[in-house]
Copies of this chain bind each other. A is one copy, B any other.
Amino acid sequence: MEAGLFTANNVWMMVCTAFVFIMHLGFSFLEIGLTRQKNTVNILFKNIFIICVGLLLYYMGGFNLMYPGFEEGEGFLKFAGLGIAAPEGGMTPGYADGGYTWWTDFLFQAMFAATAATIVSGAVAERIKLGPFMIFTILYVGLVYPIVGSWKWGGGWLDQLGFYDFAGSTLVHGVGGWAALIAIWLLGSRIGKFNEDGSPNAIPGHNLPLSAAGVLLLWLGWFGFNGGSVLSADPALTSLVLVTTCLAAAAGGVGAFLFSLVLYKNYDLTMFLNGILAGLVGITAGADVMSPNEAVIIGLIAGIIVVLGIALIDKLKLDDPVGAVAVHLICGIWGTLAVGIFGSLASGEQFVSQLTGVAAAGVFCCLTAFIILFILKKTTGIRVSKEEELEGLDAHEHGMSAYGDFRMNDH
């Protein structure tokens, strides 16, 4: 392979890594903005923790666990011995068809790993205890995520079966989403979220500019999330993937906006934003096998699904402050199944494979998330005290306020 092509490929993959990295700012902004100011420091702390610890864990073991084929190198699990190195040839065009170097491979995948826990972070906001959340994150990012990932991206049994998940509608968003679902079920809803008769109250976010910025940063991040999942800078494929990704996002936003306008007679900004995310999650499994028209359709449907999904979560008396389950889990399932319905892989057989993948990830993630969180619930507890929740986690867990100079409303 010519040096220019190898270098261009690797440049693209490094840029994509940077874009996926900035998604963590996107998630932080989104979650902060949609919750109350009294828990802002706590949310920031969790998200900063996740990106740092996620990277280190993936370095220490996750990458090896997820891609078991590379034991010829010295390997991350031998971390204790110090002095690990890339496998022979890992930094040459001979590795991965010259799409990137081994270290770029690691870093790109490491940025993905942290995402799963970040998804959970939003759903459990405003009431989870910090310590247990950190323990959960370590176990979930360090073990559960790479194990499920290995089934497909590591060449495991789901891959053998023909399951397809281009950039992680199931392997990232589903994995995060299932844990979010289990967590909000075990945690219970925030005080004041549901009335005695079961009807939900809106608990408005405190900083919608940050939420909107978060969604636009996540969209930007998806240029790398999906664009980098091509695993090279192949011009035809990467540019198609960016187009399907952006069109699905746009269609998802418009779908959610219009559907919620019809349903609720309201120009709902947060629905518009969630619709964009829904479209992005929905196209993620098949961004490289869809035509742009199909991407628009998948996005539109995702936009409608997310509005219904948020209503459904409310109906189930589950409390998900940022709509993470509807966006990441429900639209992740939709996106995964859509690969069996639309695009160049569509077939009945493919649909069954997709269904199998969704179900397998669901069972494994629910089980592991339940075991971890249930044990934590029975030992350390996972929920802050009523007093702490009412006064805010920032004051109690961190002893500081996010907006010291501002006067706040009491609630």
When the two chains form their complex, are residues A49 and B209 in contact, meaning their CB atoms are under 8 A apart?
no
Closest B residue, CB atoms, query A397? B267
In the complex, the answer to whether A82 meets B239 with C-beta atoms within 8 Å is no
Query: Which of A47, A270, A398 has the most C-beta atoms of chain B within 10 angstroms of its own C-beta?
Result: A398
Residues of B within 8 A of A45 (CB): 267, 269, 272
Check if A18 sits within 8 Å of B223, measured CB to CB.
yes
Interface-side segment among A181-189, A193-201, A291-299, A308-316: A291-299
* Closest Cβ–Cβ distance, residue A94 to chain B (whole Å): 12
Query: Which of B17, B56, B239 is the one whose CB lies under 8 Å from A107?
Result: B239
If A53-B250, A235-B104 touch, does A21 touch B206 (CB 8 Å cutoff)? Answer: no
CB-CB under 8 A from A103, the residues of chain B are: 236, 239-240, 242-243
Q: Is there contact, CB below 8 Å, between A400 and B7?
A: no
Q: Encode contact with B along A179-223: 1 for CB under 8 Å, 0 otherwise.
A: 000000000000000000000000011111110110111011001
- Which of these binds chain B: A22-30, A333-341, A353-361? A22-30
Query: Given the complex, which residues of B lie within 8 Å of A79, measured CB to CB?
Result: 293
Is A347's CB within 8 Å of the partner chain B? no
Contact partners of A411 in chain B: CB under 8 A: 405
Give A411 to B404 CA distance when docked, in angstroms: 10
* Distance from A383 Cβ to chain B, minimum over Cβ atoms (Å): 17
> In chain B, what residue has the closest Cβ to A255?
B52
Give chain B residues whose Cβ lies under 8 Å from the Cβ of A367: none
Q: A29 CA to B217 CA in the complex, in Å?
A: 13
Contact: B206 with A209, CB < 8 Å? no
* Bound: A296/B227 CA distance, A: 29
Interface assignment of A287: CB less than 8 Å from any CB of chain B: no
B-facing mask of A43-76, CB < 8 A → 1, else 0?
A: 0110111011101100100000000000000000
A5 at the interface (CB under 8 A from B): yes
Secondary structure of the A contact surface, majority rule? helix
Contact A398 B3 (CB under 8 A): no
A281 within 8 Å of B by Cβ?
no
* Residues of B close to A53: CB separation below 8 A: 250, 254
A contact residues, total (Cβ < 8 Å): 114
Contact B397–A21 (Cβ < 8 Å): no
Give the residue name and chain of the B residue nearest to A7 (CB).
B8
Q: Which residues of B contact A56 (CB under 8 A)?
A: 247, 250-251, 254, 296
Cβ distance A101 to chain B, nearest Cβ, rounded Å = 4
A235: chain B residues within 8 A (beta carbon): 6-7, 10, 91, 100-101, 104
CA distance A107 to B235 in the complex (A): 13
Min CB distance A1 to B, Å, is 9
Stretch at the interface among A34-42, A154-162, A372-380: A34-42
Contacts of A14 in B (CB 8 A): 12, 223, 227, 238-239, 242
User: How far does the alpha carbon of A12 sit from the alpha carbon of B235 in the complex, in Å?
Assistant: 11
Distance in Å: Cβ of A278 to nearest Cβ of chain B? 12
Cβ of A11 within 8 Å of any chain B Cβ, yes or no, is yes
Closest residue of B by beta carbon distance from A238? B14
Select from chain B the residue with minimum beta-carbon distance to A55: B250
Determine if A32 is an interface residue (Cβ-Cβ < 8 Å). Answer: yes
A54 CB → nearest B CB, Å: 8
Task: Report how far A405 CA is from B406 CA in the complex, Å.
Answer: 10
Q: Which residues of B contact A403 (CB under 8 A)?
A: 206-208, 406
The docked-state distance in angstroms from the alpha carbon of A100 to that of B402 is 43
